[in-house]
Amino acid sequence: MTDAEPYDVSIAELGRGLRRGELSPVTLTEALLARIADLDGILGAFQLVSADRALATARAAEVGLAAGQDLGPLHGIPYAAKDLFDVSGLPTAAGSHLLADDMPGADATVVARLAGAGMILLGKTKTVQFAYGGAGINHDLGTPHNPWSRVPRLPGGSSSGSAVAVAAGLAPAALGTDTGGSVRIPAALCGVTGLKTTVGQVSRAGVYPLSWSLDSVGPLTRTVEDAALLYQAMRGADPGDDATRGRPPQDVMTGLRDGVEGLRIGIAETVFWDEADPEVSGAVRTAAEELAALGARVRSMEFPAAADALALNPRGLVIAAEAYTLNRRLIDEHYDELDPIVASRMIQGRDVSATDYLRTTLDWKRLRREAVGQLGNVDAVLCPTTPRPACTLAEADADMDAYLRHNLLYLRNTAIGNILDLCALSVPCGFTRDGLPIGLMIYGRPFSEDTVLRIGQAYQQATGWHRRRPDLGWVASG
């Protein structure tokens, strides 16, 4: 531990402090609950806070550690879960008041695994309704406030509350889901680290679904090391999710600090850079130069599969069809009670023909094979996570056209990776003149989370962007 407040350091540092007796799970949890009480009335990151439950779990963790029953590096560490994850005894609202009383009977698999690792659940964070949106706006239960700006700006979605909670120091880690960028977009716009896992690496059992083809689960944290720790605890096969069958547990910790010497890293000179803010482009290319200085073999490359992925995602056809199928009763029976933007987009899935759906999914399979071939001579690819930093909420939510335009732009670079079934990591790589975070995205081939985390770790060891914290004096003063 350092002299910093407990909400201002990484999970790895907190773990060391817990084991040296410099703090306890109870005092740590109390400090975070107090910070949530002080700040979240304005930030709006949490859908619900389960204080009594968190303190009871913290006391149990404290007794266990004192008795020498150490469950590992996450034991005694608090976290938050996006309000898509089932937690026994807590409702899963999925961003809608219509599901406010939807009480699951069991924990989601990843929630159970983190409990088994000794983690302490603080509560559930807000999400875009049904996780259907990259801007992060929820007209039903409220939009979290990006902590980097007093003027309301987009937090990114759909894991909006999770990113705001981590960025503002309300929780050292939070769970998110990523179907088109919903971990990485808010990570980039809120200046934190976000890991998009390959479908099949982490169980989705007990997670409110948006698209069975594309949904993935990943952590949002302050550091790459913290993301690796959570991923290591969550990954692995689960009978509750067929996509995980046959997937052996992946060890990402052993080689995390191996550096980038000799790794082949491409800069994808393609659609990722279209309409990019010059400050974003400059920061990402500078990050590439820094990786080269660390010994990586960095070069520009073409990656035509990226543009092809966009062309094979007309109107978000597959997500719309699957989202409507999964939410049909709510759409058909309660359309006027839903977030109007989400409802108007999701109902379009009702008109997707079986022929179009099947043709598109078959084309995706072909394109995924081509993408792996195009990435055969590199270990990872770099690009901006989002082409622009967070714009104001007023600009993005002025009307339906403005929302759709901004939502599509923020989703563009990240959705490519979902369609191609890549894994990806977003890390902070700079700030604009206005003090807004910029995200660097590190794409890897499917199931190469160990590589993208290794690259991200090397970058963060050499730079300090991830250590910056927003000045929240304006929040505390109301």
Burial of 261 from C-beta contacts in 10 A (0-12 / 13-18 / 19+)? exposed
Contacts of 335-343 with CB under 8 Å at 24 or more apart are 337/97, 337/98, 338/96, 338/98, 338/129, 338/140, 339/95, 339/96, 339/129, 339/138, 339/139, 339/140, 340/139, 341/133, 341/137, 341/139, 341/400, 341/403, 342/128, 342/129, 342/130, 342/132, 342/133
Q: Which of 174, 191, 228 is nearest to 449 (CA)?
A: 228
Kindly compute the dihedral angle of the four CA atoms of residues 171, 172, 178, 180, in this order, to the nearest 10 degrees: 90
- How is the chain split among helix, strand and coil, in percent rounded to 5? 45, 15, 40
- CA 208 to chain CA centroid, nearest Å: 15
Q: Which of 349, 157, 119 is nearest to 146 (CA)?
A: 157
Distance between CA atoms of residues 78 and 69, nearest Å: 18
Distance between CA atoms of residues 95 and 4, nearest Å: 34
448 part of the active site: no
Q: Which of 448, 185, 397, 428 is nearest to 286 (CA)?
A: 428
- CA 288 to chain CA centroid, nearest Å: 22
82 part of the active site: yes
Bond from prior residue into 158 cis (ω within 30 degrees of 0): yes
- Spell out the residues 6+ positions from residue 122 whose beta carbon is closer than 8 angstroms to its own: 29, 32, 33, 36, 46, 49, 50, 54, 78, 79, 80, 170, 171
Residue from 182, 211, 216, 448 carrying the catalytic annotation: 182
Q: Which of 137, 140, 196, 130 is nearest to 161 (CA)?
A: 137
Query: What are the beta bridge partners of residue 175?
Result: 81, 219
353 part of the active site: no
Residue from 158, 159, 203, 426 carrying the catalytic annotation: 158
Residue from 10, 24, 50, 82 carrying the catalytic annotation: 82
Rg (CA), the chain: 21
The residues carrying an active-site annotation are 82, 158, 182
